Structure 1
Amino acid sequence: MASSSRFRNQIQPYEIPFRPGLELKAAWTWGAAGALGLMGGLALGMPLMPLLTTSSIAGFFAWNRYKIGHRYQQKLDALHQSAGHLWFISTDEAETHYRIAREKDAIWFGRGFRWTKHTAERMYYLLGPGAELVEPLETKQTTESGEFIGKVWIHALETERDILLPLDALKGQTLILGTTRAGKTRLYDLLISQAVERGESVIIIDPKGDKELAANAKKACERMGTPERFAYFHPAHPEDSCAIDVLGSWNRATGLASRIAALISAGGDSNSDPFISFGWRVMNNFIHGLLILGQKPTLKSLRTLVETNPTEFTLAVLKAYIQQNDPKPEILHSYLTAKNGKVAEDVPGQLAAYKKFYREVLSKTAASPELEGLLSDEEHDKEHFSKMIVSLTPLLAMLTSRPLDTLLSPDPTTFHGRILTAQRIIDQNLVTYIGLDTLSDSAVGQAIGSIIAADLASTAGDVYNYQIPKPINIFIDEGAEVLNQPIIQLLNKGGGALFRVFLATQTLSDIAARLNGSQQRANQVIGNTNNTIVLRIIDQNTQETQTRKFGKFPMSRMGTALGSGISPHPMDMNNGSYSESMNLVDTDLFPSSEFASLPALQYLAHFSGGTIIKGRIPIVRD
């Protein structure tokens, strides 16, 4: 008896998550039997109390069977009633959701539910033993052309509710993965509209130039009654475009040189290439030279210096610096006068005289490392110098050719449109759409994106160091096309300046390809994002990476065994056996292959803190 008791205690119950409500037939049978028995007994004049007792017992069993069967049938019906069509809501409905989220210091991510191990077990059942329950549904959920639109029943595994994520979680940065037409643009519309509603700065970097994304951002500003907050930048539409002075915001001149160096490095490490380091040094010296002359550094002025002989520029800077330090005229004149009594008038002669005066006299009391760097460049071997800065010339040419010469290096005296800087966007809480037009010219578009990203990264550092941070939302579509070291820095450290970066891409391989094929650098980008939102993805490597991120869980797996045999004893001709077992098997919380089956506008998200959400987002219509 004790052994039997221990055995019973080891038995673990296992409930099939989905099946038809077979108990409903028994419920109707019990109900009919109770009703017919009552009516028949009354017709035959039988005593009332026994009839009521038997009918009540039948009714109890009918109700008990109905409850169990109805529960199973409801779950099955929910799968078959799962929305295979898109979810549309009005602008008024959306703004109600936005307001509720804002009041709770949160952001609304549509509707959904927490993805738990119990949810995963239900999914695996329908992918395995219960596949016949959803196969008709999958055949039904296709377009008129026969295109499969996804396994819509996945979202019916649990009861959905509004998904609200605390705004603090967004400081951990967000990676959005999704193939073409999976819903990245609609997700951005949802997030951008809420940022506008909160009155925060928004910067949208769009390589493709999605007109609808720009239009929706503009409408969001208009709905708030602040249409002036919207700014539009697009090199293909210079007549409608504002100008962005990418070198207009800075606290340290070295930061301007770093923005140019970011163009050379593209996605690589800005310290790993001697050409990058040399290019940074040259830009830094030119920029400090312009500042000594009292001139504002621009991409156009830097291009001019790179493409021309810097001797005259060096002489002008040297003269200006010496005059700023009030040299004694008689001493300076003595250096400028040759042995024959003539004052040097040609450029080489004057340069030699001024350099000698600086090094022998002025450097003793007013040495300038910046000026000495410029002098060092001027004295550098010309052929070697030209080879080391060869990569600067095409990049600066790209960014200063028409119409970018006025859009990225605007002159306030001649440009009559709106001129922005990164700092101005932040100070005025603007909503700035930046189209890169990479479809028409990918090289120039990527260069624009890189210099703007470098400007933002530099400004984030200034905000962190010198200002009281306030939220700035940066949305980068097709992020692999503009990914560079400054963006990686924003992902890594921008949260301290309250920069919330949303980086969308189709595959993780795109990120590695942009970073010179470095998977290690790609992993750094992925590791710097605490939130990951996965829409439909079809790249196998991306699927497997996300499955590993979501982790595993111990899944209960039932096993059955049947056996039969023939006994040698004449009186016992055959025997049989049956056994059931249940084991715990480590299984992926979400199978990698099913990311390709997510319908459009549905996602699986891993948010900061480890919460996993299955959700869907609406299409907002006026």
Structure 2
Amino acid sequence: MADSLNNVYRWPHELASVLACGVGAGLLLIQAPMFLLSPAQGQVAALALCGLAARRWHQAQRILRYRRAVRRSKPYALLPHELPSSPQAVFLGKGFEWTAEHTQRMVLLAQPENDHLRRPSALYQWARRREREANCPAWLQRLIGWPHSLNPLLAMPPVGGMPALHGMSIDEQDVWTPLAELNNHMMVYGTTRVGKTRLAQILIEQDIQRGDVVIVFDPKGDVELLLGMYSAALRAGREDDFMLFHLGFPEVSARYNPIGNFEQITEVATRATGPLPDQGQSAAFKAFAWRYVNVIARAMSAVGERPDFRKVYEYGVSVDKLGGKYLTQWLERHAPDWHSQFDPTPTREHKELITRAEKNGRDIEVLMMMAFFKQQAYQDPIADALASILANDRTYFEKLVNSLYPLLEKLTSGGLADLISPQYDSTTDPRPILDWLSVINRGGIVYCGFDALTIRDAAEAVSASMLADLTSTFGRIYKHGSGYGMPNPEPLRRVRLHADELNELIGPEFVQAANKGGGAGLFITGYSQTAQDIEVKVGTPAAAEQLGGNLNSLIMLRVVNADTAAKLTDRLEEVRVATRLVASGVADTNDPDRVEDFSSRNEDRISMEKVPMLDPAWLMKLPKGQAFALLEGGRLMKIRIPLPLPHVDARTPANWQAMLEHMRIQHAQHTDRNPEQGLTVEGAGSGY
């Protein structure tokens, strides 16, 4: 009955056959005549029994390996240079393809008779109690810590979860997915400290080794991720392509203007006002602020100034200055003799104008230029827009754009001002200026840290603007072709964008990038803790589903709620599994002519039923560093991610030391607050 269910968790009865064959073979070699055989015939018979014993031993070993695999997790670690790489595929780890057979084994393991396999043995629990004792003998500590797979006392890696999930198969191999498949983008879910960052390192280092353009958005700032990227760039000989942008460390960061590059001038206002609230009554104020910034951006572009946050704030507070500059340039181009017709000195005829200037707090000379502009019947949409702004009472107008000023002030204070509002013509600032088109054309590697734990508002504003700028750049590449802006265009470059804490970056710009970026060579991999994080950020389940529809490949590490797990399990079909039902019964008889007083019946029934291929609860019990991956349109893989072995590369830039030390302190504090600590194996540092 057990064999009909392919029960790999039964007791290995083959061991009895091995013992019997071994004893028989020994007797045939020693006392062949006792079996009425000649010595030569005894040797042949003994050889045949040894062959049968070997076959039965192999079968028993298979059962024993399955019984052991569901109880223990095997360590798996790699040095950075040992990480496989291929120009056509992406390496994810070791594992196997999950099928209905593995679901069947999980059902069998859940039977009450297999409870002892799921729990640690009594000997293992005794060893854990002894090693916690202060007076544990040194010889016992050495025995317990003997690093061999056959040592029943050896402590399992501190990965938690249910080891049985990977023990459903004793044969695993390297798991690869075709690189072209990732053009459909990938989503990675996993709660804190279960392996998302390590998986990101594995994918990023392969991208760098492959020669792709690599862009990493890291809202919090992970020191190991940054060092891993730079170390991979060194190994690939691409250190000159590496560029660091970090809001928390302006002194070592590249400079970047999030609103300085655009194809349509309206993009400036969209990026600058994107972080403003737009729910309820706030939507009207955001729309008004957008129009205000758009007028400023149009005027700045017309007078030949590149928009940046500092200038937008400067002109926003005093739009009169921009109005005067724009009108002067316009009149110089279209009416060169206007000075002879314009008198800037107010007269009694300008009494109403003077009163309005004093009341509204406006520059009287700019208002007089506006009046002259209208008097001459000149037509210009930007001048009209500026005139409508200047006609408003200044106090009232500032109330309408009140939500804009605090945001701009945060983005133009301290060292942040020079970082995201760079002076392009400065000869005293050696920091490079980040430009996405240049990065893509030269095959760059960019790490973007936003220090969201310290300056959350600024981080959200800059990251959203940066993503919008990147999306606009891909739009230009999509329309104009690869090598846009270069005299000798090169073939389309593959761009790998890795977005950690994706919920911090999601907005309309990201949806557009996921929708349209594939045609321009963009491959997106997003990382998030739960599906609800994304849903809260976008506002509605429908919007979250719209985003999820663009992220076709899915990798799920341990998650903390069933709704997130359902993002994977709902995409799988149900499978048929066999279940065993033990039935027994007793019936008495009242027939006086029959000898028996009762009859009994015992039977095992096998029935087939449909169950989900994966139970969402299993995804909530995954050990750290393990995941299920839905790849290539429906291929379900169970994978183990390799731990990082300690690797020190001292060739980091000298001016990074203070930054790295600060990032390590922040990382340690975050880990101390988190009850789940990083993994270690023999000779391995923390990895998850």
Instruction: State the TM-score, normalizing by the size of structure 1.
Output: 0.85
Partner of 2:213: 201
CA shift, 1:512, in A, is 2.3
The correspondence of residues 480-495 of structure 1 with structure 2, limited to 5 A, is 480-495=503-518
Say which SS state the counterpart of residue 598 (structure 1) adopts.
Answer: coil
Letter in 2 for 1:92: H
The correspondence of residues 112-511 of structure 1 with structure 2, limited to 5 A, is 112-129=95-112, 130-136=114-120, 149-158=160-169, 159-264=171-276, 273-308=283-318, 310-324=319-333, 326-327=334-335, 329=337, 333=341, 346-357=365-376, 360=377, 362-363=378-379, 368-380=380-392, 382=394, 385-414=397-426, 415-468=429-482, 469-511=492-534
* Cα distance between partner residues in 2 of 1:447 and 1:514: 14
Partner of 2:624: 600
* Cα distance between partner residues in 1 of 2:574 and 2:397: 56
CA shift, 1:63, in A, is 5.8
Cα pair 1:478 1:503 within 8 Å, conserved? yes
Question: Is the aligned partner of 1:26 residue 2:26?
Answer: no
* Cα distance between partner residues in 2 of 1:375 and 1:579: 93
Say which SS state the counterpart of residue 216 (structure 2) adopts.
Answer: strand
Listed one character per residue, the Cα deviations across residues 576-613 of structure 1 (whole Å, up to 9, x for unaligned) are 22344333333222222222322222111112411111
The correspondence of residues 2-151 of structure 1 with structure 2, limited to 5 A, is 13-33=4-24, 35-36=26-27, 39-42=30-33, 62=53, 65-79=56-70, 82-83=73-74, 85=75, 87-94=76-83, 97-98=84-85, 101-102=86-87, 105-129=88-112, 130-136=114-120, 149-151=160-162
Say which SS state the counterpart of residue 496 (structure 1) adopts.
Answer: helix
Listed one character per residue, the Cα deviations across residues 32-74 of structure 1 (whole Å, up to 9, x for unaligned) are 2354256444158666799689768866765664454343234
Unaligned 5+ segments in structure 1 are 1-11
* Cα distance between partner residues in 2 of 1:341 and 1:389: 33
* Cα distance between partner residues in 1 of 2:265 and 2:613: 50
CA shift, 1:290, in A, is 0.6
Say which SS state the counterpart of residue 620 (structure 2) adopts.
Answer: helix
Letter in 2 for 1:153: A
Question: Is the aligned partner of 1:612 residue 2:622?
Answer: no
CA shift, 1:181, in A, is 1.3
* Cα distance between partner residues in 1 of 2:282 and 2:180: 35
Listed one character per residue, the Cα deviations across residues 68-106 of structure 1 (whole Å, up to 9, x for unaligned) are 4343234334445640x3x22223322xx11xx22xx11
* Cα distance between partner residues in 1 of 2:32 and 2:186: 71
* Cα distance between partner residues in 2 of 1:168 and 1:53: 58
Cα pair 2:587 2:600 within 8 Å, conserved? yes
Partner of 1:4: none
CA shift, 1:274, in A, is 3.0
The correspondence of residues 494-573 of structure 1 with structure 2, limited to 5 A, is 494-516=517-539, 518-569=540-591, 570-573=594-597
Greater shift in the superposed pair: 372-381 or 115-124: 372-381
Cα pair 1:335 1:353 within 8 Å, conserved? no
* Cα distance between partner residues in 2 of 1:538 and 1:299: 40
* Cα distance between partner residues in 2 of 1:525 and 1:67: 50
Say which SS state the counterpart of residue 136 (structure 1) adopts.
Answer: coil
Say which SS state the counterpart of residue 249 (structure 1) adopts.
Answer: coil
CA shift, 1:190, in A, is 0.9
* Cα distance between partner residues in 2 of 1:240 and 1:148: 37
Name the CA shift for 1:135/1:250 in 2 (closer, same or farther; >3 Å): same
Say which SS state the counterpart of residue 615 (structure 1) adopts.
Answer: strand
* Cα distance between partner residues in 2 of 1:137 and 1:276: 63
Unaligned 5+ segments in structure 2 are 133-154, 354-363, 483-491, 648-688
* Cα distance between partner residues in 1 of 2:386 and 2:99: 62
Cα pair 1:399 1:405 within 8 Å, conserved? yes
Cα pair 1:208 1:438 within 8 Å, conserved? yes
Cα pair 1:457 1:487 within 8 Å, conserved? yes
* Cα distance between partner residues in 1 of 2:475 and 2:128: 50
Partner of 1:8: none
CA shift, 1:354, in A, is 1.0
CA shift, 1:501, in A, is 1.7
Cα pair 2:72 2:163 within 8 Å, conserved? no
Cα pair 1:336 1:354 within 8 Å, conserved? no
Letter in 2 for 1:420: L
Partner of 1:9: none
CA shift, 1:249, in A, is 2.4
Say which SS state the counterpart of residue 120 (structure 2) adopts.
Answer: helix
Name the CA shift for 1:371/1:428 in 2 (closer, same or farther; >3 Å): farther
Say which SS state the counterpart of residue 203 (structure 1) adopts.
Answer: strand
Cα pair 1:248 1:421 within 8 Å, conserved? no
Say which SS state the counterpart of residue 288 (structure 1) adopts.
Answer: helix
Listed one character per residue, the Cα deviations across residues 147-180 of structure 1 (whole Å, up to 9, x for unaligned) are 6622233223222111111111112222111122
Name the CA shift for 1:465/1:262 in 2 (closer, same or farther; >3 Å): farther
CA shift, 1:464, in A, is 1.5
* Cα distance between partner residues in 1 of 2:45 and 2:437: 83
Letter in 1 for 2:250: P
Root mean square deviation of aligned Cα = 3.4
Instruction: State the TM-score, normalizing by the size of structure 2.
Output: 0.78
Greater shift in the superposed pair: 505-514 or 378-387: 378-387
Name the CA shift for 1:228/1:64 in 2 (closer, same or farther; >3 Å): closer
Greater shift in the superposed pair: 576-585 or 202-211: 576-585
Letter in 2 for 1:132: H
Listed one character per residue, the Cα deviations across residues 88-134 of structure 1 (whole Å, up to 9, x for unaligned) are 2223322xx11xx22xx111112111111111221232233433223
Letter in 2 for 1:117: A
Letter in 1 for 2:211: G
Say which SS state the counterpart of residue 346 (structure 1) adopts.
Answer: helix
CA shift, 1:257, in A, is 2.2
Name the CA shift for 1:65/1:334 in 2 (closer, same or farther; >3 Å): closer
Greater shift in the superposed pair: 333-342 or 435-444: 333-342
Partner of 1:5: none
Letter in 1 for 2:161: G
Name the CA shift for 1:165/1:302 in 2 (closer, same or farther; >3 Å): same
